[in-house]
Chain A
Amino acid sequence: MCEMKLTLTSVVPADRARVFAALIDADVLRRCIPGCETFTAKGPDTYEAALKIGVAGLKGTYSGKAAIRDKQPPDSLTLGFEGKGGPGFVRGSAAITLSADGDSTRIVCDADVQVGGLIAAVGSRLVEAAARKLADDFFRQLSSELSTQQQ
């Protein structure tokens, strides 16, 4: 499958307001997105990014755009993205909802992802696992970022 729906869940140790703020902070995102080399605001809620990552054994540099829509602080936002690189293209959107979980925040991310080109041709079986791994890395980084901020 080259079109997939993914639901990713994570709990990060900060309240919703701080998590929400972090998720729309270009500097935080640049530090947390795996393989992110640049992440620059290009306008209100629009960003350009360059990532160097390996998906399904295909290492490559992707450049792309991301746009944040439907901001409902501190409850939800939607992230649209499209990227392209040597191994193919990725595009999709993610509906992100935040809910309180004690002192922490539960992040639920419902993503629709489409990939094409070599990533689809040789890695389609592995793309979902790769996406989960990248998301895990992102949330781990985000947690550590928010813990550091707290101290």
Chain B
Amino acid sequence: MADTIGTPYVGRAMKRVEDPRLIKGLATYVDDIRLPGLLHAVILRSPHAHARIGRVDVSAARAIPGVVAVLTGADVNAACGLVPCAAAIPDLKAPKHTVLAGDRVYFVGHAVAVAVATDPYIARDAIDAIDVDYDPLPAVTNPEEAVKSGTPLTHPDLGSNIAYTHVVAGGSDIDEAFRRADRVVKHRLCHQRLTPMPIEPRGVVASYDPGEGTLTLWTATQIPHLLRTLLPGMIGVPENKLRVVAPEVGGGFGAKLNVYPEEALCAHLAMRLNAPVKWIESRRENAASTIHGRDQIGEYEVAVKKDGAILGIRTRTVADLGSYLQLLTPAIPTLTGLVLTGCYRIPAVKMEIVGVYTNKMATDAYRGAGRPEATYLIERLMDVVARELGIDRVDLRLKHFPAPAEFPFATSCGLTYDSGNYQGALTKARQLANWDQLLKDRAAARAAGRLSGIGISTYVEICAMGPSKAMPAGGWEWGCVRMEISAKVTVITGVSPHGQGQETTFAQFVADRLGVLMEDIVVLHGDTNVAHYGRDTYGSRGTAVGGSAIVMCIDKIVAKAKTLAAHLFETTADHVVFEKGTFRAPGVTNREIGWPELAGEAYVAKNLPAGLEPGLEASSFYEPQNFTFPFGTHIVAVEVDRDTGHVAITKYVAVDDCGPQINPLIVEGQVQGGIAHSIGQVLFEQTIYDENGQLLTGELMDYALPRAADIPEYILGSTVTPSPVNPLGIKGVGEAGTIGATPAIANAVLDALQPLGVTHLDLPMTPERVWQAIKTRTAAPVGA
């Protein structure tokens, strides 16, 4: 069925306009970029977690035919500036993060030297010919040990392994809460280190035009604009002579929300060698030298009354930062503190966060960034409290939900939740899961000796990042809408979608609001010469913040078009009605003007009202007044195999409230992908360094991502609670799946093991770990 103007696109589950080029292999990723005279860079990386670098002999590498340059830190660091960290944490101790290692290496995978050659394979051979003498030093690998005095230091010059101690506290007096408690429930919880593992590793192409003094950098990034802001300080090319392009990007998940040494290095090489330079990260480099996620360990204490009323939560959490601060490294654990009370009324909270340096790759934002950690903590704690007090875990949750009428709801962590109906999402999820039947099925399975469990999590998270006052470098978004002379519409956004589908969703609401066909709209992004300003894509901000800037543009264009139409109708703008792409002036004239005529008049400009500029284009900066707070309920049923420890997910129900949905198919895809990340975290994935700081999970043979067969059928539902924060009412959904799912699955596995008396398992709950727990609990001699 052909689309007609006026049939709303918003709300329709439409296939993405991005997909044909992706499916057909017609998309252009960084590695697809070919330039005349292109040189290839390969980086030599440290095999040691911590070592002093002695002699570096590059003579054999330089002698290989086809090798153009072999450079070390001594050659490039002075010209490249330091890798920036944008997070402002008081009293933060930060090591100097040079582009290549200086006299020491601090983690396995630390870049030591670079070889540039006419062919990537020659460059690869060249790094094998570099001879580096390392003097190994003690590696710091256990963050809890690292904070003790007298232990080896990750960065001896900092004098301590503690990067910062930060307290997030709020609400009523925490000590008073614990004095009033009938009971204190304690639990230790860890969030294991994870590797984001986008299917496309990182890659950079840098090209310098010495005549114009301009540098173009194509990079697999989520943040071309932040790079354009931050790279000039590193490479000495002014912002207005630097063009950053994020071409097709094959997955980010936060791993590409960063300024990496290789981006500055390639820029420097292109200028130094006066030739374009390409660097493509290998899978093994990606595992070792692209940021990791999570890695927090905490002791949690909950002050409770006998009736289950939670008075307060306090914790000291140790966050393993790795050896360097990447763009947001120290800020991520503080986000955990911001949403630690989840969707509950908990009067007092105190979270002391200790950021610790270890000889590992840096941690930073990975899908959810701080909120999955918080949600896992609070949702596990709710189950632990319910179990210890003998209270139904759903009743305990309901008891602490704010009522829908209480929004905007101020939390003791200092946030104001915009809107919510947590009871509504919980009720809908229980209906979709057929909750009462699930309980009966579990009872029957247990009676038959099977290990059957049900898990639930009710979550809230922080999206639409964010108000500029709360963001390191501005949280606004920029957009531009141009009605072309041909009545085609060009939309330019400062967000940088890389899988989120905004070429589709933006076109949907632009088409509706302008009354044009979607096929007449193109959405441009990811090139700082096209989208001059932007704050890019992360924190589920693309549609809620970026879309709102586009709405502002549309409003400006329609207002201008009405002025022009009024002039053509020989009346005033207040008599002009705009509907479904047509301008009318009821009671003035029967004449109708559509976009083609109006756009023609606007650009031909022979008959414009006095003072009206030609053209039909508007740009806007949108500044959000608050974050948005999507929420939902996930319910999971599992069966655990007693003999193998294998966990089978037998039912998965997710009800997510992200506000009004522009495209339910994209929402569903985002939720599905997010849950898959959680299935990985709960059941399979862990980034492992051994006690010497050797990375043991360096490729996909050793780092277990979930596969298609591990993903269950999902039953997905939604409730719709608009956000009052932005004109679209949208909350965001990019990370929700992986925030709600991790505790729901973990709670289900532990519920299944509850009859055996198992009260805790660390993530990931691999078959081996589950089997060990079963074996330990069932091996006790019977009747002895």
Contact = CB atoms under 8 A, between A and B. Distances in A.
Given A89-B48, A117-B47, A118-B284, A125 B702 contact: yes
B127 A86 contact: yes
B47 A84 contact: yes
Contacts of A3: 690-692
Contacts of A114: 692
Contact of B128 (A1, A85, A89, A121): A85
B663 interface: no
Nearest to B46: A117
A124 B128 contact: no
Contacts of B699: 121-122
A63 to B, nearest CB: 8
Interface string B688-701: 00111011111101
A118 B698 contact: yes
A74 interface: no
Contacts of A2: 690, 692, 694, 696
Contact of A121 (B48, B127, B134, B284): B284
Given A121-B287, A121-B288, A122-B701, A86 B128 contact: yes
A60 interface: yes
Q: Which one of B131, B132, B698, B699 has the highest number of Cβ atoms from chain A below 10 Å of its Cβ?
A: B698
Contacts of B47: 84, 88-89, 116-118, 120
A38 to B, nearest CB: 15
Q: Which one of B47, B699, B701 has the highest number of Cβ atoms from chain A below 10 Å of its Cβ?
A: B47
Contacts of A118: 47, 284, 698
A82 B287 CA distance: 26
A78 interface: no
B599 interface: no
Contacts of A115: 694
B701 A116 contact: no
A61 interface: yes
Contacts of B284: 118, 121-122
Contacts of A117: 45-48, 108, 694
Interface residues of A, number: 21
Contacts of A85: 128
Interface in A9-64: 60-61, 63
Interface in B650-703: 690-692, 694-699, 701-702
Nearest to A120: B694
B677 to A, nearest CB: 22
A84 B748 CA distance: 47
Contacts, number: 67
A120 B45 CA distance: 13
Contacts of B108: 116-117, 120-121
Contacts of B127: 86
- B: interface residue count bin: 20 to 34
Interface in A117-137: 117-118, 120-122, 124-125
A121 B697 contact: yes
Q: Which one of A85, A114, A117 has the highest number of Cβ atoms from chain B below 10 Å of its Cβ?
A: A117
A56 to B, nearest CB: 10
Given A3-B690, A122-B701, A116 B48 contact: yes
B692 A124 contact: no
B692 A121 contact: no
Contact of A1 (B45, B690, B695): B690
Contacts of B702: 121-122, 124-125
B50 to A, nearest CB: 11
B766 to A, nearest CB: 15
A35 B591 CA distance: 89
A125 B699 CA distance: 12
A120 B702 CA distance: 11
Given A89-B48, A121-B287, A116 B698 contact: no
B106 to A, nearest CB: 14
Contacts of A89: 47-48, 134
B493 to A, nearest CB: 39
Contacts of B287: 121
Contacts of A125: 701-702
A84 B131 CA distance: 9
Given A116-B47, A121-B699, A60 B128 contact: yes
Contacts of A88: 47
Contacts of B132: 84
A126 to B, nearest CB: 9
A130 B10 CA distance: 59
A120 B128 contact: no
A121 B696 contact: yes
Contact of A61 (B45, B48, B128): B128
A124 B48 CA distance: 15
A83 to B, nearest CB: 11
B690 A120 contact: yes
A84 B134 CA distance: 10
A120 to B, nearest CB: 4
Interface string A76-118: 0000000011101100000000000000000000000011111
A100 to B, nearest CB: 39
Given A84-B47, A122-B284, A125-B702, A116 B128 contact: no
Nearest to B690: A2
Interface in B146-179: none
A89 B699 CA distance: 18
Nearest to B133: A84
Interface in B688-745: 690-692, 694-699, 701-702
Contacts of A116: 47-49, 108, 692, 694
B727 to A, nearest CB: 48
B696 A120 contact: yes
B690 A121 contact: no
Nearest to A124: B696
B688 to A, nearest CB: 9
A116 B693 CA distance: 9
A118 B124 CA distance: 14
A123 B701 CA distance: 9
Interface of A: 1-3, 60-61, 63, 84-86, 88-89, 114-118, 120-122, 124-125
Given A117-B108, A120-B695, A121-B699, 5 more contacts: A84-B47, A117-B46, A121-B108, A121-B698, A122-B284
Interface of B: 45-49, 108, 127-128, 131-132, 134, 284, 287-288, 690-692, 694-699, 701-702
21 contacts: A2-B696, A84-B134, A85-B128, A114-B692, A116-B48, A116-B692, A116-B694, A117-B46, A117-B47, A117-B48, A118-B698, A120-B47, A120-B695, A120-B696, A120-B698, A121-B284, A121-B699, A122-B702, A124-B694, A124-B696, A124-B702
